[in-house]
Amino acid sequence: MIFAGVDPGSRTYEFAFVDEMGRIIKFFSFPTELVSKASSTLVKAISDLRPYGVALPSGHGLPFKRVSEITDKDIFLMTLKDPEIEGPLRNFIISAKLLHNAFTVPGVIELKSVDESKKINLVDMGTADKVASAFFYRTMYDSFVLVEVGSSFSSFLVIIDGRVIDGLGGSILPGLNSAGFLDGEVAYLLCKYSKISKETIYTRGNWALGLKLLQILSEWYSAHYNIPIIISGSKKWEVPFGIKHNFKFKESAVGSAYIANSLFGGIFRDYVDFLESSGTPIDYVRLKGWEEIISLIKTL
């Protein structure tokens, strides 16, 4: 049996295929900027290998919904963008509706192992691909801190006894090319006199601050639980701390394939509890005015 997984990176989409024993049988990458127009071709490349299960790229996450059942509302929840506007993830998901046994993957905020008190007023505690990276390393470690540093975004997850208990994602932590969290007064002024767009939060990051925050957080959890710090992602060698494994593949892509393996009875089936989840990425925002966002989503 073959299982497939996809990592939707900022620079490249990474595709991994493993067998029932978790052995990697194929791996390839494709430029993200070309995915929108090539999504049907990429889906055919997956289909040609006849995978028994496919873990789809899922953005901010959606717990295990079959691709044939995905609606415009679901696409919005995964991308937090207008589902009618073309984009790599949106186009890929639509093309993937031809796949058999393809499903979405949860983000950190949807995992039941994360205490609800940590989720309030957050959306991005770690996207679905970060869950996939953590799942990959879960097959190697029981407890660890995972710091993932990509070409744009950074994230931080804590895994204790095989369960994710905490995390912060790329729209919160400053990355190599992403702003991360915004000062509330900056957000107010932008909304009043300009606007906040995806470009606002996805560009002009303060990487020096982001790196410092990642080190403080990861070293505190590492000392508190006596667990290792693992560094993953395409830019992991730019991080001056933690354990770095020199794989020739993208951990999150293989981790996604491992998730498919676990759900369909492969060698990683005993790790499936790691993925217990429910809800959507926007369920925990309590800010004044958020009810207008909820009303808008109901119209999709």
| Three-state secondary structure string covering 67-115 | HHHCCHHHHHHHHCCCCCCCCHHHHHHHHHHHCCCEECCCCHHHECCCC
The model's pTM: 0.95
Give the span between the Cα atoms of 78 and 63, in whole angstroms: 10
CA geometry: angle at 176 spanning 170 and 180, to 5°? 35
Domain residues for the domain of 157 are: 2-298
3-state secondary structure of 54: strand
Report the number of distinct structural domains present in the chain.
Answer: 1
Q: What is the pLDDT of residue 79?
A: 95
Rounded to 5 degrees, φ, ψ at 13 are: -90, 130
pLDDT digits (tens), the chain, 300 positions: 999 999 999 999 999 999 999 999 999 999 999 999 999 999 999 999 999 999 999 999 999 999 999 999 999 999 999 888 999 999 999 999 999 899 999 999 999 999 999 999 999 999 999 999 999 999 999 999 999 999 889 999 999 999 999 999 999 999 998 998 989 999 999 999 999 888 888 888 899 999 999 999 999 999 999 999 999 999 999 999 999 999 999 999 999 999 999 999 999 999 999 999 999 999 999 999 999 988 888 888
Q: What is the pLDDT of residue 128?
A: 98
Sign for the CA dihedral angle at 7, 8, 10, 11 comes to positive
